[in-house]
Structure 1
Amino acid sequence: MVIMSQPMLLKKNNERMLFIDSIKGLAIFLVCWGHSIQFVKKAGVSFFENPLFIIIYSFHMPLFMIISGYLFFYSLQRNEMGELIKKKILQLMLPSASWFILESILIGRNINIPNLRYGLIFPFWFLSSLFFLSITMSLSQAVYKGKPWIIFSVIFFISLFFGDSWNMDRTKFMAPYFLLGVSVHYFINYIRSNKHKLGLVSLITWIVMLFFWDKSDYIYITKMSFHGVEFTKQLKVVLFRYAIGFAGCFSIMYLYSYTSKLKLFTLFASSLGIYTLPIYIISTLILSRIANYIDITTYCDNSIIYNFIITPIYAFFIITLCILIAKYLKKTWVTRFLFLGGR
């Protein structure tokens, strides 16, 4: 029996944080790998049908959001709502604004309120979604301190019947994963004692569901709102999308837990994990632009070479460049504060 009473507060020991950072490192590599498939391609080729792209996009952003929710739990326990909001503005929205303004200066874009509002929400959509969900959870905690997940869930279900404008489609898509990350602390003992059962069931479910993936299952295609669409059809898409996302995340974490003995791999992945914010932002800004100068047409016809040699090499190149830029920005407190959220 699972009792949802008090969370098990885990100490942030070095071993646990190493595992979390390494999972984050894997997730950010998958983000860059997926973007490489999206942008470094032969003209006219649809990345939506690429099997590797489908596998990555079935779970990679949900995985990131589960980790974010897991870590946010500690902030929720230790900070008042006002302090939490202040921290999230500085950690998430300030870097988004700073990078967007810098990009605008470099490309000659007007810096005005409409453009800045766009820049805070769309280019780095995951950060704006994480900010919104963090604030929503903080407010839910303030309203119902014992069970904030109830208020959070009610807000989520109500939002499904409103529009998807201003990034609300992706924010709504991410909400259950964020909630799971926050709530997993209540079930940590159950998960540990049933690790193999949950892992194997998730893995089988994920693999089977991948065969039924359709282009309409991408969040970018069918969005999230039930407003103005055929209810039954949208419900089927949304439920499938969540099911494969959860199954994929559990499968990856289960499989990844067996890499803990590979110390060099774990250390390498964790070294990427501590730079997820700058890698995500900088790669978003430069990946597609650099891809415009790369001609890989002759390699696209061989899917093995393209998927497992060309695009991962390009992803590693972009990640290395992002880390070098981030290390340079860390040298002064001003650039660290503006572009890295003070990290």
Structure 2
Amino acid sequence: MLYHAILSTGHSSHAAGADKRDLSFDFAKGILIILVIVGHLLQYVIYRGNGYWDSPYFKSIYMFHMPLFMAISGYLSSRALLRKSFARSVNERATQLLLPTLFWWALLEAAKAAVVLPSSSIVGGDFLNDLVGSYWFIWATFASFLVVKVLLTIFRRLAMWIVCMSAIAVAVLPVTVSIAPSIRYTYPFFCLGFLLSQSTECRTRILPRNKSLLMFFLAAMACTCFLAWSKETYVYNNLALIHDTASAEQVLLMFAGSAAASWIAFEIIVQLWKLSSSNRVARFVAVELGQSTLLLYLLQGTVFRLMDFVQFGELWDLSTRLSVAGMLGVSIVVIAMTVRFLVRDLGWLSRIVAGTSPRSEAVKAQSATN
């Protein structure tokens, strides 16, 4: 999945402290967070019902955006997983991911209590579902990081093989409570990204030499899986649970289709960055959006969770829905960029709201590295 970046860039976790940041990964993250927002706009505004399951646009996004996001996370987490102590790495990751999640969850509950619930006559609220379900990808990322770190700490020399086996074991684990299916779906991609970040020898074992033939095969597989993809192929519906032949086919289709589509999507994104890296729009996507994906994800998760409690647009025509979706998507980006600008120099507030170190600390760290 990260074949091209591994062979042609220096932004592995081992080079995370290099003088120059590789923006190709940030560009990929920026594109993916845009697709996350677009996918939710399709679901909550444009279709506003169950029709999105059959949408070719929804399908093409959901086949790869979260698996690829998780693979990139695993790839870029390698340094923390391998070079830092268990306590330090887990503490830093929890501070980075969970503190902002708790902040935006508290904001969500406050908004529900003040505006949404009184106006819609909804009494009470499922706080735990809001906290876990609205921001499931954050919890999946943290859980994946924690499991891999535990395996690396315990097994040491055999850790890489154990991580490979754990990816399979977690994928087939028959647990369906809460967001467990989503974690089981994305964890193998985190492991794959982590494994691909390792030594050249390790990558040579995993990746085939004939790239052109591989890309043709993956493109054919992605197209075939796209045509066969149905409502029951989504992890939200099949729960990544195998209980008969039909469910086994759907789960296998889901993983195979996601892997192939993710690889093809990343190759396209990297080529797009090569062609447009000097373009202002591309650099905005990489530098502003790609380096603010946590903030953007939490903000859009809060917004779309609130929309679950609001009835609107039932009689709108398609053009109106598209217009509203466009304005809402742009508003989310603008608000996120404004929040980032306001808190970036405010110490712990920057960590709590956006999950990033204050700009002054980042400059000091860069100076120390240089």
Identity of matched residues, %: 20
Tell whether 2:37 aligns with 1:40.
no
Q: Which sections of structure 2, spanning at least 5 residues, go unmatched?
A: 1-11, 118-124, 358-370
Q: Which is worse superposed, 216-225 or 190-199?
A: 190-199
Aligned with 2:299 (options 271, 274, 282): 282
Query: Letter of the aligned partner of 1:182 in structure 2?
Result: F
Map of 2:271 onto structure 1: 258
What's the CA shift for 1:18? Answer: 0.3
Map of 1:218 onto structure 2: 234
Map of 2:152 onto structure 1: 141
Within a 5 Å distance, the mapping from 1:71-86 to structure 2 comes to 71-86=76-91
Tell whether 2:265 aligns with 1:249.
no
Aligned with 1:54 (options 21, 36, 59): 59
Aligned residues: 326
What's the CA shift for 1:328? Answer: 2.0
Tell whether 2:75 aligns with 1:70.
yes
Query: Letter of the aligned partner of 1:241 in structure 2?
Result: M
Aligned with 1:89 (options 91, 94, 104): 94
What's the CA shift for 1:294? Answer: 7.0
Aligned with 1:170 (options 182, 185, 209): 182
Q: CA RMSD in A?
A: 3.0
Aligned with 1:123 (options 128, 131, 134): 134
What's the CA shift for 1:319? Answer: 1.8
SS at match of 1:211: helix
Map of 1:181 onto structure 2: 193
What's the CA shift for 1:301? Answer: 7.3
Structure 2 Cα separation of the partners of residues 245 and 14 of structure 1: 34
Query: Letter of the aligned partner of 1:280 in structure 2?
Result: Y
Structure 2 CA distance for partners of 1:44 and 1:250, relative to 1, 3 Å: closer
Q: Is the 8 A contact 1:55 1:210 kept in 2?
A: yes
Map of 2:331 onto structure 1: 317
Structure 2 Cα separation of the partners of residues 219 and 287 of structure 1: 19
Aligned with 2:15 (options 8, 11, 17): 11
Give the TM-score normalised by the residue count of structure 2.
Answer: 0.78
Q: Which is worse superposed, 274-283 or 256-265?
A: 256-265
Aligned with 2:34 (options 12, 29, 33): 29
Q: Is the 8 A contact 1:71 1:182 kept in 2?
A: yes
What's the CA shift for 1:217? Answer: 0.3
Q: Which sections of structure 1, spanning at least 5 residues, go unmatched?
A: 1-7
Map of 1:332 onto structure 2: 346
